[in-house]
C-alpha cells in the first residue's frame, strides 16, 4: 500500500479491510515523512505498533 491510500483510509469514516501479516488491522495514524503507520489488530486494540506503510495490504 502507498502512504496516500493509507492516509485516505485512516481519515475515512468507512472501515476498510486492511491487513498486516494477514491480520486485520485498524490504521490510527500515518506518518508521511517516515512512510509508517500506527496500527493495531482489530481483536487486540491494546497492541499498537508502528509499521512501514508498504507492509499493509488492502483487501
pLDDT computed for residue 30 by the predictor = 97
Cell of 11: 481519515
User: Residue 48: which pLDDT band, with cuts at 50, 70 and 90?
Assistant: very high
In the chain, what percentage of residues exceed pLDDT 70? 100
Domain ranges, residue 45: 3-58
Q: What is the mean pLDDT of residues 11-24?
A: 96
CB atoms within 10 A of CB 1: 19
Tally the domains of the chain: 1
CB atoms within 10 A of CB 37: 27
pLDDT computed for residue 54 by the predictor = 97
Q: What is the mean pLDDT of residues 7-21?
A: 96
Amino acid at each position: 500500500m502507498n502512504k496516500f491510500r493509507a492516509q485516505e483510509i485512516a481519515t475515512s469514516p468507512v472501515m476498510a479491510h486492511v491487513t498486516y501479516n494477514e491480520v486485520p488491522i485498524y490504521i490510527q495514524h500515518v506518518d508521511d515523512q517516515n512512510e509508517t503507520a500506527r496500527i493495531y489488530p482489530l481483536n487486540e486494540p491494546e497492541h499498537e505498533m508502528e509499521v512501514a506503510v508498504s507492509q499493509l495490504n488492502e483487501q
